[in-house]
Amino acid sequence: MYKIIVGEIEEQSISAIQKIIKEQIKDADLVKIVKTGDELIKETIQTEPELLIVAIEILGLNGLEAIRQIRKFNESVHIIVISSYDYFGFAVQAMHLNVSGYELKPLNESSFSQAIKQEILKIKEKDEDKKRFLREENILNDAYEYMGYSFINTVIFNAGCSKDLKVYQKYLHLSPMGFVMNIEYDNSSLLTSFDIDKMYPKICSAIKNVLGDGKGYVIGAKVFHRTVIYFNVDASARETIEHRNETIKIAKKINTVIKQLFLLDAFIGIGSIKPLARISSSYEEALDCSNYKQEGAIVHIKEIKIKAREYSNLIEQEQALVEAIRYGKQDAVYYFNNIIQSIRGYDSRERVRKIIEILILVRNELNKMNNSEVNRSNYLEYIPSIYEIDEEQQIKWAATQFNILIRNFRLKKLDRKSNTINVAIEYAQKHYSQELSLNDIAAYVNLSPQHFSKIFKEEMNTNYVEWMTNLRVSKAKELLNRSDKTIKEICYLVGYQDPNYFSRIFKKYVGISPTDYMKERAD
């Protein structure tokens, strides 16, 4: 039923209108009668009637002024003006406002009834035109959709011939360049393939809502548990970081909608930009991304290629590090630092995994060279606590552990040192808890401090003070691990007189304070 609103103040006129509509107009209802121009405007906004019957002589804004305001937001509503005055100027104003009819009061039942019927007929014809247009539009949309299915199947899946390509390019408005997105629905879901088939039209509709109603993309039919989407890009487009980020942003929106509306987990792989004639290779790249699901729910082929190059470079750096350690080159520190710097920006878990992997690699190589263990630490036990610190602290921790490995390796070479140095080391290991300066230890082995310092550094690859500090820190760690003594007591037991200084030295060599070290052991 069509809705009619009347704006009139004369009761006789209102009664006549009500009677005519009730008895002679079958397809319309009189839904509201108002007496002011402001009410007429308000009800038109709220009710959205198909027909207004408006008297010029209403309260507040007159009928013509009210119509003028209504036309600013509603150009389609049909309007019949009624008036007590046969004034040509009113009629002209009404025509300028696209009014359909102008009836004089008192209303002639036959004439007024015919005027309403004519307007209702116009409204019906307009509705039929709209329905016909929608049917035609639906037919065209269906044709477009099925041609899109055919394009995906023929050109992308099967690398179709250039003749087919030109047809698709013409009717699907394809640009010379594009890329492919492959959406895989999780087949471990409780939903069966049949369930997804039933939902597929709604899934496509939801994806279209994300992408918009433009012709810049083509969605394929569901194949097994996958949806393939082709995207147009400008002919001059290049694979930039900005384009990649924007594409991933779109994929994230699609993934979120699929998850929220259909409770489906999906993986989205994205191929690179290719000429339309080679667009099937972009599809193959999007499929290849499925091999990297561990990287996340959305993977772009360019990110995979970048990581592959980084991984190849990382392997080369690791090989160079092992060689430097094997042949005692100072470059070992350089290569280790390069590796650590190259994993900045990695996901935290991946970065920690790589740090532990490198430390184990270094330790194993040093063990082989020394025919004994240079470090018994089980680095895997550190993983949970390392996850909890930020990137800078993780990098610093890795560097500290590497330095400890190198120092321990050098300490393990004692059996190959001269008798003088062995005697000095044996004495120092027994008396490290006492004040034991360079002068003291040199006097013990009957050498000048300068000469002792020179041969100590030559044979130990470190100076005496550094070696003694490392020894005391190692002893402190042993006491922290197996005794219930306080940090202050341990400070004195390993040869330090100032607990604060001891704590600073311990943190410098171990990477954490004695207090934190005890907490880790307790955990």
CATH code of residue 149:
3.30.70
175 and 233 part of one domain: yes
Q: How far apart are CA 342 and CA 359, in angstroms?
A: 15
Q: What is the pLDDT of residue 412?
A: 62
158 and 283 part of one domain: yes
Average pLDDT over residues 330-358: 81
Q: Looking at the domain assignment, is residue 501 inside a domain?
A: yes
- In this structure, what token pair is assigned to residue 274? 């290719």
500 and 432 part of one domain: yes
Q: Looking at the domain assignment, is residue 180 inside a domain?
A: yes
Element (H, E) at 178: strand 177-185
482 and 350 part of one domain: no
Name the band, by pLDDT with cuts 50, 70 and 90, for residue 385. confident
CA separation (Å) from 170 to 151, 176, 276, 343?
12, 11, 13, 48
Rounded mean pLDDT of the chain? Answer: 83
Q: What is the pLDDT of residue 415?
A: 47
Name the band, by pLDDT with cuts 50, 70 and 90, for residue 70. very high
CATH, residue 92: 3.40.50.2300
Least confident stretch, 102-116, 145-159, 242-256, 356-370: 145-159
Q: What is the pLDDT of residue 287?
A: 87
Largest CA distance in the chain: 137
CATH, residue 493: 1.10.10.60
Percent of the chain past pLDDT 90, that is, above it, reads: 24
On the question of pLDDT at 144 being above 90, the answer is: no
Q: What is the pLDDT of residue 50?
A: 93
Q: How far apart are CA 18 and CA 1, in angstroms?
A: 16
Average pLDDT over residues 297-320: 76
Q: Looking at the domain assignment, is residue 238 inside a domain?
A: yes
360 and 279 part of one domain: no
Cβ burial, residue 253 (10 Å; 0-12/13-18/19+): middle
394 and 425 part of one domain: no
Q: What is the pLDDT of residue 145?
A: 67
Q: Looking at the domain assignment, is residue 169 inside a domain?
A: yes
For 23-67, write each residue's pLDDT tens digit.
998 888 899 999 999 999 999 999 999 999 999 889 998 889 999
Contact yes or no for 53/17 (Cβ under 8 A): yes
Q: What is the pLDDT of residue 97?
A: 85
276 and 164 part of one domain: yes
Please indicate whether residue 52 or residue 377 has the higher confidence score (pLDDT): 52
Q: How far apart are CA 295 and CA 83, in angstroms?
A: 75
Q: What is the pLDDT of residue 8?
A: 94
From 364, 386, 411, the end of a domain falls on 411
Q: Looking at the domain assignment, is residue 120 inside a domain?
A: no
Q: Is the peptide bond before 384 cis (omega within 30 degrees of 0)?
A: no
Q: Looking at the domain assignment, is residue 276 inside a domain?
A: yes
Q: What is the pLDDT of residue 156?
A: 65
Q: Looking at the domain assignment, is residue 168 inside a domain?
A: yes
370 and 385 part of one domain: yes
358 and 343 part of one domain: yes
CA separation (Å) from 158 to 131, 147, 165, 288?
39, 15, 12, 17
Question: Which residues form the domain of 271?
Answer: 145-208+218-243+252-291
Average pLDDT over residues 141-156: 69
On the question of pLDDT at 416 being above 50, the answer is: no
Name the band, by pLDDT with cuts 50, 70 and 90, for residue 94. confident
Residue 202, SS3 per DSSP: helix
Nearest 5 degrees, angle CA 442-CA 446-CA 447? 55
Q: Looking at the domain assignment, is residue 335 inside a domain?
A: yes
Contact yes or no for 273/259 (Cβ under 8 A): no
Nearest 5 degrees, angle CA 193-CA 198-CA 203? 95
99 and 40 part of one domain: yes
272 and 198 part of one domain: yes
On the question of pLDDT at 371 being above 60, the answer is: no
441 and 455 part of one domain: yes
Average pLDDT over residues 355-377: 74
Strands 217-219 and 226-233: antiparallel
On the question of pLDDT at 374 being above 50, the answer is: yes
Average pLDDT over residues 165-176: 79
Number of structural domains in the chain: 4
Name the band, by pLDDT with cuts 50, 70 and 90, for residue 15. very high
Q: What is the pLDDT of residue 366?
A: 80
From 370, 396, 411, the end of a domain falls on 411
In 152-223, alpha helices (H): 162-171, 193-211
- In this structure, what token pair is assigned to residue 483? 């005794």
Q: How far apart are CA 509 and CA 523, in angstroms?
A: 21
Q: How many CA atoms lie within 13 A of 242 on its CB side?
A: 2
